[in-house]
Amino acid sequence: MNTMKGSFYILFQNYKKHNIIFWSILFSIVLLSFFLDAFFGQYISFAITISIPVYIFYSSMATKLLNRTLPYFLKLGLSRQQYMINVGLFFISWSLVGALIIASAQKIITYVSTLLNIKNIIIIHPILIFDNTYSFLQTVALDTVLLLFCLCSGLLLNVTFYRLGILGGYSLIGLLALVPILMVIFEWYTPLFEIIANSSKMAIIESIFIFSILLYLVISTSMRKVSVNPV
């Protein structure tokens, strides 16, 4: 337990500054949107998204994890398996905290907009794909699994660069970039959207969570004999 607490503290300190800067900028943009609406709301409408920038931020932070923390943890005496367990638990905790912030921010924005009778600010969130009515807990649940998936995806890219070098890393990026192109060419996106639209929120949440866990297990397996120094 002490090892886990220490690991969480070290991981948190590694990302503390980045988190403060990111959330400060994001909330400053939200405040700027309210300011612009106060003066130009009669001419234009604003679309605000809290979630999507957070997804991008989490993904980018995970792509630097191994280089920033793995050598340090191994020097402290942790095994690679212990390291991956602690990182996995940190990812889940970090995802939940991020999801709570997103959902709370959206509630505050909606409340302030109603209080000030602001009708020109629209909040964009992936949960709107299903319907326009959603609860606070549903938003938290969806964002938690999406943020966890973003962290695992970023870590997968980090592991690829770490183990296979620049050639392997950019090869993976190329393959990932090829997927949406193939989806457009063969029109795979239509049945995909139909499946998502016809599925319940909980089914989608459970599917993303299970896929993220399986992805993390694959990453953990590939870390068993990883070198202290990247390729």
Flag whether pLDDT at 68 surpasses 80.
yes
Task: Name the pLDDT band for 41 (thresholds 50, 70, 90).
Answer: low
Per the CB < 8 A criterion, the answer to whether 46 and 36 are in contact is yes
Provide the β-strand partners of residue 48: 123
Which tokens go with 40? 């130009």
Q: What percent of the chain has pLDDT over 90?
A: 37
**Three-class SS state of 101:** helix
pLDDT digits (tens, 9 = 90+) for 153-162: 999 999 988 8
Task: Name the pLDDT band for 134 (thresholds 50, 70, 90).
Answer: confident
Left (φ > 0), alpha (ψ -120 to 50) or beta: where does 123 sit?
Answer: beta
CA distance 102 to 2: 30
Mean pLDDT of 113-127: 79
Angle at 66 between CA 94 and CA 220, to 5 degrees: 80
Q: What is the DSSP letter of 37?
A: H
